[in-house]
Amino acid sequence: MATERLWWTRAVLDTSVLISEHRHWLWLLARRGFYEGVWSAFIVGEFVRIRTEHSIKHSVERAVYRQRINDLIHLFSDVLTIVDYRRVTTGKALKDPDDEPILATAIAASAGCIVSLNTSDFPPEAVLGGVRYVTPRQFLEALGAAHAEADLPSLIAAAGRQVP
């Protein structure tokens, strides 16, 4: 029962949330110690690829998007633990093979959940390989319930956008 209650304490951040507006409060709450965030070399690589493609599509100057990406990776590297996803075989065939390293990251890290906006491939509240898939809203609700005294919505609102 205790492990069920504490599934939110160690979370893998999927690339989808790292490129979303949620990245600001996910970084802040990891930095403040409300949860332990995890990522892998695969997630970093996928993040860089997607942010680069998005920047080019929107005609952002190369020097600008490179600096933003580098800054973001440095900030998240300060608060996320990197794990070697390659040492784990998930044994699961997911719809998108690019999602298997995300699940492997969670299993390698003994994470209780993957925070993702990819609800078509990671159905919210589904459990696969002992790992729960949650949306950022569900994750924030769990953190808020566990840390009611901290008033996380107010903390997040006051902090604003702190990462590129």
14 token code pair: 């999927």
CB-neighbour burial class of residue 125 (10 A; exposed 0-12, middle 13-18, buried 19+) = exposed
What pLDDT sits at residue 76?
A: 95
The model's pLDDT over 120-163, given as tens digits with 9 standing for 90+, comes to 877 666 888 889 999 999 999 999 999 999 999 999 998 888 88
Q: Could you tell me which residues come within 8 angstroms of residue 154 by beta carbon, excluding any fewer than 6 positions away? A: none
Rounded Cα gap, residues 26 and 17, in angstroms: 8
Helix (H, G, I), strand (E, B) or coil at 105: helix
Tell me the pairing of strands 127-128 and 131-134: antiparallel
The model's pLDDT over 23-54, given as tens digits with 9 standing for 90+, comes to 999 999 999 999 999 999 999 999 999 999 99
CA-closest candidate to residue 10, choices 33, 32, 36: 36
Rounded Cα gap, residues 50 and 62, in angstroms: 14
What domains are defined for the chain? 2-159 (3.40.50.1010)
The model's pLDDT over 49-76, given as tens digits with 9 standing for 90+, comes to 999 999 999 999 999 999 999 999 999 9
DSSP string, 10-55: EEEE-HHHHTSTTHHHHHHHHHTTSSEEEEEHHHHHHHHHHHHHHH
